């Protein structure tokens, strides 16, 4: 259970960090966001990753939790990139229309 919650939080975190980057915004959000929105997303992403760390530490103890968190970060980042890659390999006309 701890694993699932932490991975979900990490995915949320990385997805937000990704959406905060102008180069990915067109594909993820469908349009360019302003600097302020990007900053808020970055903050939210970082907070989600830290929250995942807190969940791991609470659920698995300080030592195991810290190690497991690194693993959760890896899995979540891989999933986000895989999703992004799938989205970007679609015909370009689609994401100009702002799918998702």
Smallest separation, CB 18 to other proteins (Å): 5
**Residues 6 or more apart whose Cβ sits within 8 Å of residue 40:** none
* C-beta closer to other proteins: residue 18 or 57: 18
Footprint on this chain of other proteins (rule: CB under 8 A): 3, 14, 17-18, 21, 23-24, 63-64, 67-68, 70-75, 77-78, 80-82, 84-85, 88-89
Count Cα atoms within 13 angstroms, Cβ side, for 12: 15
Smallest separation, CB 43 to other proteins (Å): 16
Closest CA to 12 of 67, 39, 52, 69: 52
């Amino acid at each position: 259970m701890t694993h699932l919650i932490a991975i979900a939080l990490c995915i949320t975190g990385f997805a937000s960090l990704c959406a905060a980057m102008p180069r990915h915004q067109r594909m993820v959000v469908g349009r360019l966001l302003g600097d302020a929105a990007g900053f808020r997303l970055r903050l939210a992403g970082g907070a989600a990753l830290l929250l995942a760390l807190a969940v791991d530490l609470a659920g698995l103890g300080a030592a195991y939790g810290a190690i497991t968190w690194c693993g959760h970060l890896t899995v979540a980042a891989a999933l986000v990139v895989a999703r992004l890659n799938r989205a970007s390999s679609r015909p370009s006309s689609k994401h100009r229309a702002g799918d998702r």
